Structure 1
């Protein structure tokens, strides 16, 4: 798991959420209390008063006992805890929510990606196009199936894989494009699907951060051959752990079900009664109590998504004219973004060359949780470790496994700059407030901007 300023992304989310343990969250959109309009007052890091009380930030996840616990308690008391009717109910409700024909729930988003790639026959000798600005699971799922990740640099304005750079990375080994709707912002699917069609490539959507996001009015995860979601605790639909695969392809989904359930026959994956497992397999089944929690969370997901989207756009309007602050850009075809994270690029030249770390420190002093986001993924040691494994040495020629050559071919300089110098994140729970709350966040950034020279002297 990657680190952000000394702790993991998920720890950053947890810390930001736990700051609001005293907040009352019965509606999912609490009011954040502004201590004082920051204006151009002295920043807290220079001895001024913080803009916020950390205890006023929204708690995450939301849990309302009066409405959320009935079905969960029924499941617990029934003693039927392994996969049964409640899991099936959750799958039907999630498929309906995203507009897919079928859904299969699994233990987490990582294994959703692993299973989907496996049953699309992505295997040893294949290459999969992937962006470098993503969580490690995107890439580890490719490696888990014996395939080779090929990195395509980002468009920094959108934080997404740049479609104009994909075709240069396609080789005879290329089998699929792994699209990642990172931060909950949809990728440029028209361009990507056109490339996939031209080169006869599969498209797997990593929508693990993009619950209910839409491109041209269609939910992401349903545009390619398969879509994968995560329900980990920080996600917009939190279950603690959990994941799902969606698709309109019945034989594919039958194979995924069989593979995830010890290879036993299912649907079109048929076998003689009593024969047992008929395909190579794993066991990543969902549980009834996880499903009950998911059903409860799903009831408010749409309204929370609307609140996040509205507040994100308003916050963007409040900070876009601050010199050195470049908020995310959405593609023209995006009809809804999910905003698992609110991201912008910090350009230190406009802040008297105050390094990003100093900017983040100053914002945190104001009581605003923030993070530098992902570290570079395409040069991390796990790739070299994988290439040195016995299996990979048997599956690929020596020249493909030379890590120096691989790194040279997979350079992503724009991603490097995004990760190492520019990206700043706010977590999704921070967007569950009011417009006034967003204005106050912007005022805190403005305070740091106006005093950047003095803050830099502290570095």
Structure 2
């Protein structure tokens, strides 16, 4: 039989020591909630001489190449001497179409040219305006300019980093021809709302899915929802070939035109090396090679499993860091059913790190063995736009009032994007191919920098 007085004293002692322990942890900058998350924020940061959270040499290298399984097909192609576009490129196109559940794929030299070709063959040309987000790689906007059209920037949703559908209609004018949403970082834009707006205003939609292979909205692959979708197979992408891109669509006549345009304007189906077919339209030459397609077919075999690993690790990492004060991870739309995570991002709020700057925070994080970057700078403020407006072609295509750069800048301000560009921190997709131990190490690295932010700041920001 228990002694009630002894039991009561024991409970009192445990309560007092727990409170005292929590107080001691708080006084040392140690958060009990983070300890409960399994995060080690008691160690001294590596930038201050402590042990690194992780060995950067242990991260999975990218791209992945497995000679035993990957090289046979590539060597066969190289030894065949058939290197220009032929049957292997066609095979890649068929496999990619089947993977996405779309009728047709056209492979081209890179994602930038995929966008250029798609916009061109949707007849987006001089005088047209294309609505585009500012949080994207420069290729998205360069493709608009290369077709003589005018990019009009629509600010982002600050939580998802995607083009904000609530801000689209205010930017539509009689010259608006298309919306170019970008599924940036591998996360999806709000396509259901974007398609509703496009239908209402009779606009074309070209999806920049260059960073988002296998991302899904309502179980439908991005890139297959709009009138056309574009993908990239550049070396850092989730399907690395070195360079490469694709245009996909369910509109077969459109893909036939794209094929012709990227093959010197020769009729669709004209074989490489044919000289007497006669071109039927103005064109360029951005064909993919056979050996690139062979590399791509090897990479495609791993894509589904890698995408699942990235998504699982991203969710786990997010759960580990979202309670660290000053770390605000991405959010996704409810319609997102799968995310490819080309990049993992969060917003860094320095006021919760005793004013430690983002650059200093990233320096400390790299010292822990965790590679990271600050991502994009505001695209709508870069000098290439001014240079385009001053070019001979744009002066001939547009009235001078439309090329007033200062006025354009005033009308294309994107304050949410400006703020994101000062706060974002990125991890590349290969980090998400690691183990849960790797994710724990990333989270603990952030936690111990937070716990020692004041001292880190004194050391790095003297």
Identify whether the pair has TM-score above 0.5, normalized to the shorter chain: yes
Contact 2:354–2:453 (Cα < 8 Å) also in 1 = yes
Match of 2:360 in 1: 358
> Equivalent of 2:384, from 382, 385, 400?
382
Which runs of structure 2 are paired with 1:122-271 in the superposition (5 Å)?
122-266=124-268
Contact 2:228–2:247 (Cα < 8 Å) also in 1 = yes
> Equivalent of 1:335, from 334, 337, 344?
337
Q: Does 1:437 align with 2:406?
A: no
The Cα offsets for residues 285-313 of structure 1, whole Å up to 9 and x where unpaired, read as 01000000000000000000000000000
Q: What is the distance in 1 between the residues matched to 2:73 and 2:458?
A: 57
The Cα offsets for residues 10-41 of structure 1, whole Å up to 9 and x where unpaired, read as xxxxxxxxxxxxxxxxxxxxxxxxxxx84321
Match of 1:18 in 2: none
- Cα RMSD of the aligned pairs, angstroms, is 1.3
Q: What is the distance in 2 between the residues matched to 1:46 and 1:413?
A: 36
User: How far did 1:436 drift?
Assistant: 2.1
Q: What is the distance in 1 between the residues matched to 2:75 and 2:397?
A: 49
Corresponding residue SS for 1:154: coil
User: How far did 1:275 drift?
Assistant: 5.3
Contact 2:209–2:230 (Cα < 8 Å) also in 1 = yes
Which segment is superposed worse, 309-318 or 394-403? Answer: 394-403
Task: Give TM-score scaled by structure 2 length.
Answer: 0.89
> Equivalent of 2:283, from 250, 264, 281?
281
User: How far did 1:439 drift?
Assistant: 1.5
Q: What is the distance in 1 between the residues matched to 2:196 and 2:319?
A: 32
Larger Rg: 2
Match of 2:427 in 1: 426
User: How far did 1:437 drift?
Assistant: 1.6
User: How far did 1:261 drift?
Assistant: 0.3
Would you identify which runs of 4 or more consecutive aligned residues in structure 1 move more than 6 Å?
none
Higher helix share: 2
Match of 2:298 in 1: 296
Task: Give TM-score scaled by structure 1 length.
Answer: 0.90
Structure 1: unaligned runs, 5 residues or longer: 1-36
User: How far did 1:52 drift?
Assistant: 1.2
Q: What is the distance in 2 between the residues matched to 1:241 and 1:267?
A: 23
Contact 2:267–2:277 (Cα < 8 Å) also in 1 = no
Corresponding residue SS for 1:160: coil
User: How far did 1:198 drift?
Assistant: 0.3
Contact 1:129–1:150 (Cα < 8 Å) also in 2 = yes
Number of residue pairs matched?
A: 419
